[in-house]
């Protein structure tokens, strides 16, 4: 077989855009060149990848559907290879830019950074925090090298993620809330009161299920805790946020018949940029400290 990676890239691009001409325009090529490259790939593979007789838009054949994800994985492996090679050329980082979700448990982060300073004393560290979505955006815009965030389904394809651990979610309300004196609350009781949720609605974070007809939304777990503390609704919060010193004696953890699954903490980086030794070391250290508090 004589097919090449450029043909695979064109195959995936045409499959995703469902248009030879759109891919050609984006790459500033003649449409015939794109079509020819795909035809040569089909010849090398011995099968048709697109059905060109079904209308103006090329549609994947059954074989094309089967091979599409394989092609994507080959391209991802190429990106990893190129990124790893660049990392080896660079050697140890001069600067590590770490972006984290603002609701990340602070003790494991601080303990890990303190250990990092001892292990890599000459390394410059730039630490930034943000609300939902900010960490992934900084990585995509190459304004961060490494990210710590909570897992959600809509992770951009250009990012690689590694599970580090989990954080328990708890159901809370203000000490003066009507639910606070209830020994046990079921789903029906929770639905009678305003619920505080993460935004946007399709974030798919654990604890994102709306069970009350009345909701307020925010992009920050700490903002949510402040709203709960002011008796504006009940919420599901990471346990370490609910137990933050500011909220002691202000928030009440409710015993309930339903609780969301734990938040999954992930280390995230760009797939096409391999992590340097300091970043890899920090990831292992943070996972260790995170498991300790679990």
Domain ranges of the chain: 5-88, 91-164+263-293, 169-254
d(CA 42, CA 76): 21
The percentage of the chain sitting over the pLDDT mark of 70, rounded to a whole number, equals 92
pLDDT at 28: 86
Task: Determine contact, residues 198/133, Cβ cutoff 8 Å.
Answer: no
* pTM, full prediction: 0.66
- Is 5-88 a domain of CATH 1.10.150.120? no
- Lowest-pLDDT range, 153-157, 210-214, 268-272? 153-157
Asked whether this chain's domains 91-164+263-293 and 169-254 adopt the same fold, the reply is yes
- Lowest-pLDDT range, 47-56, 105-114, 144-153? 47-56
Helix, coil or strand: residue 253: strand
Picking from 219, 208, 211, the residue whose alpha carbon sits closest to that of residue 193 is 211
How are beta strands 215-218 and 195-198 bridged, if at all?
A: parallel
Task: Determine contact, residues 207/236, Cβ cutoff 8 Å.
Answer: yes
What is the 3 state secondary structure string of 224-240? HHHHHHCCCCEEEEEHH
Q: pLDDT grade, residue 282 (50/70/90)?
A: very high
In CATH, the number for domain 169-254 is 3.40.190.290
**pLDDT digits over 12-24, tens only?**
888 888 888 888 8
The burial class, CB within 10 Å (0-12 / 13-18 / 19+), for 11 is buried
d(CA 259, CA 109): 26
Helix, coil or strand: residue 196: strand
- Is 91-164+263-293 a domain of CATH 3.40.980.10? no
**pLDDT digits over 173-197, tens only?**
999 999 998 889 999 999 999 999 9
């Amino acid at each position: 077989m004589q097919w090449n990676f450029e043909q695979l890239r064109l195959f995936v691009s045409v499959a995703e855009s469902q248009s030879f001409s759109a891919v050609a325009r984006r790459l500033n090529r003649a449409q015939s060149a794109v079509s020819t490259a795909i035809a040569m790939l089909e010849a090398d593979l011995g099968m048709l990848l697109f059905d060109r007789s079904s209308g103006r838009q090329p549609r994947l054949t059954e074989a094309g559907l089967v091979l599409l994800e394989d092609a994507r994985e080959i391209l991802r492996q190429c990106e990893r290879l190129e990124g790893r090679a660049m990392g080896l050329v660079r050697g140890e980082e001069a600067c590590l830019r770490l972006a984290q979700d603002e609701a990340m448990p602070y003790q494991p982060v601080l303990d890990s950074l303190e250990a990092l300073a001892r292990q890599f004393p000459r390394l410059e560290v730039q630490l930034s925090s943000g609300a939902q979505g900010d960490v992934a955006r900084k990585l995509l815009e190459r304004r961060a090298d490494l990210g710590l965030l909570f897992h959600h389904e809509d992770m951009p394809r250009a990012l690689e993620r590694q599970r580090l651990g989990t954080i328990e979610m708890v159901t809370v309300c203000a000490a003066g809330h009507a639910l606070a004196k209830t020994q046990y609350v079921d789903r029906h009781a929770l639905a009678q009161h305003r619920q505080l949720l993460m935004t946007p609605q399709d974030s798919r974070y654990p604890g994102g299920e709306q069970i009350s007809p009345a909701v307020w939304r925010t992009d920050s777990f700490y903002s949510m805790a402040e709203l709960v503390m002011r008796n504006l609704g009940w919420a599901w919060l990471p346990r370490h946020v609910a137990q933050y010193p500011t909220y002691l004696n202000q928030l009440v953890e409710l015993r309930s018949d339903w609780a969301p699954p734990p938040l999954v903490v992930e280390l995230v980086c760009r797939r096409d940029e391999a992590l340097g030794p300091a970043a890899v070391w920090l990831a292992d250290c943070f996972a260790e400290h995170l498991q300790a508090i679990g």
